């Protein structure tokens, strides 16, 4: 081990699913058919209206740096979006355009988290969360959550785990990997608890829009004193464009602006122009059709997995994931995923990519592929399971 | 001051030139003509071949995440580029595609710099350098440099300032703001000195290609044990696309990959496809024409400023900047820049954006505007100076 490596890199885990992906590629090169149910991005192409807006910008040839906080028109659009969709007023100076939700995390934690401070987050959760914390030499304090709190942190859990070094709490709703939404009242209580403790509240709302029942509430509905992380990646179908946004509490505006100037200079210009078109009524209509399709896929996959004997304590409310308990079939979900890939060419994500809590008993299925393909995957899965 | 702000944000300075820019905008809104000689990006549009490649990619609609380290084709192209341009062989697994040189700095320092470790860098230098170090709670140890070392760190300076907490040294050649190149032999000695001391060497080569005499040497010509930071922003005219690259020593490959996965997911997809076209012979021919134009501008501006009584100890070798001593006219270069803008509508960058060393005696002129516009700027400048 190199003595020159920064200490923080030791604590940062690679994604275990990468090992599966490498094997999947090999199998595909050998001509095997692999059904990808591990992928965390929509299979749909970016909506045409958005693509066209991006192309129009490129045709000018003037692809220069934008202001660090982002194009004023795009920040304005996002402010309007909060007004229309959530009836929430956000001062646009609090809105920063970032290279994806990833860039939003960088800014939010860079501006607020000191080395050795701790952040509370659910286990299971999105694997990068704890790694962002480690990037700034902070500590991720994961809290085991179960179906009884919809796999979400609660005010009570936050209070119980809060201690001197705790800087704040992070909630993602809908959650990756569980797809569960936190109830509005629970979210409100969690925010008020963190605020009362003098901490920072971070709300990852990247899967907003991709919900199949009740809408998800934005943290901004309950307080201005929150960091909201969002992105054009998932609902808007713009993963590869790398554009998202961050909303910060007023007192963080100046620090966030300085950080953005220094660490990004700006977000990709054409991606920002394209994102303006994401709020066009035509685009939104198209996205609603896609949402309806995801809804069907969720129902299909949920029923199919239950039928095969997987345990899914809560039917997911949103995102495009089902976190399924496979303890009936294995006590090592990573090996289960590897064997399934090898035997049947179905790729899924092992629980251990999302934490430690019962990780060996869970796998994540992503319904980012068609029902037709998933139907084949379910036949293969059935065959795999029945072989024991 | 908020108690919740991360301590690191206190040490991060905003760009002073922003104050000038705000005033310039006001003046322009009032109908005043402002000649922009403060801008650190080429005024040329992105070459058409590159734009077209970007558009072609967008037209597929498949703008998905790429591998974290970047598109294999682009990494391959970069490896070939080193072979062709510098006769240097680089294993492509050491090459990471990043959101600009900014993203390359993030990865390089994230992978190598621990809190409270120090990095040696020249004063004056690019303002973000020290802020990247502070982002990771390290310390920027700036070393005053003068014309006698071509405003570059030397092996002797590195040795003299090295102490227990020093992690490494950063050299940018051509330099921003001085445009000076480090001599190949000096670069070699600096690298060997840092390697002998067991530290990390970081070479910012973003202005390579924009040179008007001798070519700049890549650090990779002298050692594989270096971090090389580069970008498509400047020579290739792609600032707003946000795409650059980082080359790391072998032992940092795994850590860099993990960091890239976690903090970026990937660089913008269409920007990467566009960048592949940056190496087309047609593009390179176009870029050489632009270089010739920059060369003429440099000569024009250099002569004009000397004629007006500015002191420029070394004629810059590259980039698109002239760092001029204005002590004959003022002992406060920031005020000088402000007054010049106010009185004559010429925007330049004050020395204090680049450090502390004699900063009040220097201003930076960027020749990122046409000779015709610069000629008018010089008339205005002459009038301004002669009024005293
Ligand atoms: C919960 C969650 N947050 C944030 C992100 C980051 O996405 P992006 O940077 O593309 O916006 C992801 C991506 O998978 C995610 O699942
Ligand atoms: C010396 C130097 N390094 C790095 C950068 C970062 O550029 P980018 O992130 O656009 O590649 C700049 C931009 O001005 C620069 O002048």
3-state secondary structure A127-177: HHHHHHHHHCCCEEEEEECCHHHCCCCCHHHHHHHCCCCEEEEEEECCCCC
* Residue A1: predicted pLDDT: 57
Confirm if B330 and B358 have CB atoms less than 8 A apart.
no
Relative to the alpha carbon of B240, which ligand is closest? Answer: 2
Chain A CB within 8 Å of residue B89 CB: no
Whether A6 and B111 lie within 8 Å, measured CB to CB: yes
Using alpha carbons, list the distances in angstroms from residue B322 to B180, B338, B341. Answer: 9, 18, 18
Confirm if A115 and A109 have CB atoms less than 8 A apart.
no
**What span, in angstroms and rounded, lies between the C-alpha atoms of A260 and B260?**
18
Cα Rg for chain A, rounded, in angstroms?
21
Q: How far apart are the CA of B66 and the centre of ligand 1, in A?
A: 14
Give the binding-site residues of ligand 2, using a 6 Å CB cut-off.
A 265; B 40, 100-102, 126, 172, 176, 204, 206, 231, 233, 239, 244
From A126, A174, A320, the mutation candidate for ligand 1 (largest count of ligand atoms within 8 A of CB) is A126
Residues in chain A closer than 8 A to B255 (CB atoms):
5-6, 9, 12
Q: What residue in A sits closest to B22 (Cα-Cα)?
A: A67
Chain B CB within 8 Å of residue A252 CB: yes
Chain A CB within 8 Å of residue B240 CB: yes
10 Å CB burial of residue B295 (0-12, 13-18, 19+) is middle
What is the fold, at CATH topology level, of the domain defined by B7-45+283-386?
A: 3.90.1150
**What span, in angstroms and rounded, lies between the C-alpha atoms of A384 and A343?**
7
Indicate whether residue A204 lines ligand 1 (CB < 6 A): yes
Q: How far apart are the CA of B101 and the centre of ligand 2, in A?
A: 6
Residues in chain A closer than 8 A to B46 (CB atoms):
61, 63
β-bridge pairing A166-172 and A139-144: unpaired
Confirm if B244 and B99 have CB atoms less than 8 A apart.
yes
Indicate whether residue A102 lines ligand 1 (CB < 6 A): yes
For A5, the closest of B7, B255, B264 (CB atoms) is B255
Q: Could you tell me which residues are beta bridge partners of residue B366?
A: B321
Confirm if B349 and B364 have CB atoms less than 8 A apart.
yes
Distance from CA of A266 to the nearest CA of B (A): 8
Indicate whether residue A41 lines ligand 1 (CB < 6 A): no
**What span, in angstroms and rounded, lies between the C-alpha atoms of A3 and A205?**
38
**What span, in angstroms and rounded, lies between the C-alpha atoms of B97 and B75?**
7
Cis peptide, bond prior to residue B109, ω within 30 of zero: no
Run of H or E residues at A74: helix A72-86
pTM score, whole prediction: 0.97
Using alpha carbons, list the distances in angstroms from residue A196 to A191, B150, B378. Answer: 8, 56, 59
Whether A262 and B137 lie within 8 Å, measured CB to CB: no
- Over residues A56-96, the pLDDT tens digits come to 999 999 999 999 999 999 999 999 999 999 999 999 999 99
Chain A CB within 8 Å of residue B116 CB: no
Buried-state track A24-44, b at ≥16 Cβ within 10 A, e below 16? beebeeeeeebbbbbbbbbbb
Whether A136 and B6 lie within 8 Å, measured CB to CB: yes
pLDDT level of residue A13 (50, 70, 90 thresholds): confident
> Residues B25, B29, B30, B32: what is their CA dihedral angle, to the nearest 10 degrees?
60
Q: What residue in B sits closest to A135 (Cα-Cα)?
A: B110
Reading the block at residue A276, the tokens are: 């303006």
* Residue B210: predicted pLDDT: 98
Confirm if A20 and A34 have CB atoms less than 8 A apart.
no
Residues in chain A closer than 8 A to B137 (CB atoms):
115, 136-137
CA of B125, closest atom in ligand 2: 1
Residues in chain A closer than 8 A to B9 (CB atoms):
110-111, 255, 258-259
Q: Could you tell me which residues are beta bridge partners of residue B318?
A: B211
> Residues B290, B291, B297, B299: what is their CA dihedral angle, to the nearest 10 degrees?
-160
Could you state, in chain order, the average pLDDT of each consecutive group of 10 residues for chain B (388 residues)? 88 89 94 96 96 97 95 98 97 98 98 97 97 97 97 98 98 98 98 98 98 96 98 98 98 96 96 98 97 98 98 97 98 97 97 96 98 98 93
**What span, in angstroms and rounded, lies between the C-alpha atoms of A155 and A196?**
11
* Residue B13: predicted pLDDT: 85
**What span, in angstroms and rounded, lies between the C-alpha atoms of B6 and A259?**
11
10 Å CB burial of residue B192 (0-12, 13-18, 19+) is middle
Q: Do domains A7-45+283-386 and A48-280 have the same CATH topology?
A: no
Task: Check residue A92 and report its DSSP letter.
Answer: G
Q: What is the CATH number of domain A48-280?
A: 3.40.640.10
Q: How far apart are the CA of B354 and the centre of ligand 1, in A?
A: 35
Query: At residue A3, does pLDDT exceed 90?
Result: no
Chain A CB within 8 Å of residue B238 CB: yes
Q: How far apart are the CA of B321 and the centre of ligand 2, in A?
A: 13
Run of H or E residues at B28: helix B17-29
Chain A CB within 8 Å of residue B61 CB: yes
CA of A172, closest atom in ligand 1: 1
Run of H or E residues at B127: helix B127-135
**What span, in angstroms and rounded, lies between the C-alpha atoms of B35 and A1?**
53
**What span, in angstroms and rounded, lies between the C-alpha atoms of B363 and B365?**
7
Residues in chain A: 388
What residue segments make up the domains of chain B, in order of their start? 7-45+283-386, 48-280
* Residue B3: predicted pLDDT: 84
Rounded to the nearest 5°, which phi and psi values hold at A143? Answer: -115, 120
Q: How far apart are the CA of A149 and the centre of ligand 2, in A?
A: 46
Provide the greatest CA pair distance for chain B. 60
Confirm if B78 and B92 have CB atoms less than 8 A apart.
yes
**What span, in angstroms and rounded, lies between the C-alpha atoms of A386 and A388?**
5
Chain A CB within 8 Å of residue B146 CB: no
* Nearest partner of A267 among A74, A33, A44, A121, judged by Cα: A74
From B97, B100, B104, B210, the mutation candidate for ligand 2 (largest count of ligand atoms within 8 A of CB) is B100
Chain B CB within 8 Å of residue A240 CB: yes
Determine the residue among B15, B55, B58 to mutate to test chain A binding: the one whose Cβ has the most chain A Cβ atoms within 10 Å. Answer: B58
Reading the block at residue B181, the tokens are: 């190149």
Q: How many CB pairs under 8 A join A and B?
A: 230
Buried-state track B219-249, b at ≥16 Cβ within 10 A, e below 16? bbebbebbbbbbbbbbbbbbbbbbbbbbbbb
Confirm if B280 and B310 have CB atoms less than 8 A apart.
no
Residue appearing with tokens 């070798």: B317
Cis peptide, bond prior to residue B183, ω within 30 of zero: no
Q: What residue in B sits closest to A2 (Cα-Cα)?
A: B251
Task: Check residue A318 and report its DSSP letter.
Answer: B
Relative to the alpha carbon of B268, which ligand is closest? Answer: 1
β-bridge pairing A346-347 and A35-36: parallel
Is the ipTM here above 0.90?
yes
């Amino acid at each position: 081990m190199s003595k020159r490596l920064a200490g923080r890199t030791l604590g940062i885990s690679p994604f275990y699913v990468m090992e599966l992906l490498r094997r999947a590629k090999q199998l595909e090169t050998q001509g095997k058919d692999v059904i990808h149910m591990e992928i965390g991005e929509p299979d749909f192409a970016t909506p045409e209206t958005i693509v066209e807006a991006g192309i129009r910008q490129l045709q000018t040839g003037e692809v220069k740096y934008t202001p660090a906080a982002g194009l004023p028109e795009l920040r304005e659009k996002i402010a309007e979006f909060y007004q229309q969709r959530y009836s929430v007023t956000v001062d646009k100076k609090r809105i920063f355009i970032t290279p994806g939700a990833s860039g939003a995390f960088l800014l939010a934690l860079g501006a607020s988290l000191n080395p050795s401070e701790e952040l509370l987050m659910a286990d299971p959760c999105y694997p990068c969360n704890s790694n962002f914390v480690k990037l700034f030499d902070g500590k991720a304090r994961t809290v085991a959550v179960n179906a009884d709190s919809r796999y979400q942190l609660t005010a009570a859990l936050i209070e119980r785990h809060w201690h001197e070094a705790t800087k704040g709490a992070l909630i993602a709703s809908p959650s990756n990997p569980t797809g569960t939404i936190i109830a509005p009242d629970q979210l409100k209580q969690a925010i008020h608890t963190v605020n009362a403790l003098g901490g920072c509240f971070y709300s990852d709302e990247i899967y907003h829009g991709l919900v199949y029942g009740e809408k998800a509430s934005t943290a901004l509905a309950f307080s201005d004193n929150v960091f909201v992380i969002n992105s054009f990646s998932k609902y808007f179908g713009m993963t590869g464009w790398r554009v998202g946004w961050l909303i910060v509490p007023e007192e963080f505006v100046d620090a966030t602006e300085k950080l953005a100037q220094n660490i990004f200079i700006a977000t990709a210009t054409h991606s920002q122009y394209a994102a303006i078109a994401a709020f066009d009524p035509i685009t939104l209509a198209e996205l609603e059709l896609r949402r309806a399709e995801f809804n069907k896929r969720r129902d299909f996959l949920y029923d199919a997995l239950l039928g095969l004997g997987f345990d899914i304590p809560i039917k997911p409310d949103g995102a495009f994931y089902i976190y399924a308990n496979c303890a009936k079939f294995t006590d090592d979900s990573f090996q289960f995923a590897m064997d399934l890939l090898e035997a049947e060419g179905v790729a899924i994500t092992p629980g251990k990519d999302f934490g430690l809590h019962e990780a060996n008993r869970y796998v994540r299925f992503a319904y980012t592929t068609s029902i037709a393909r998933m139907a084949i995957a379910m036949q293969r899965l059935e065959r795999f399971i029945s072989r024991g």
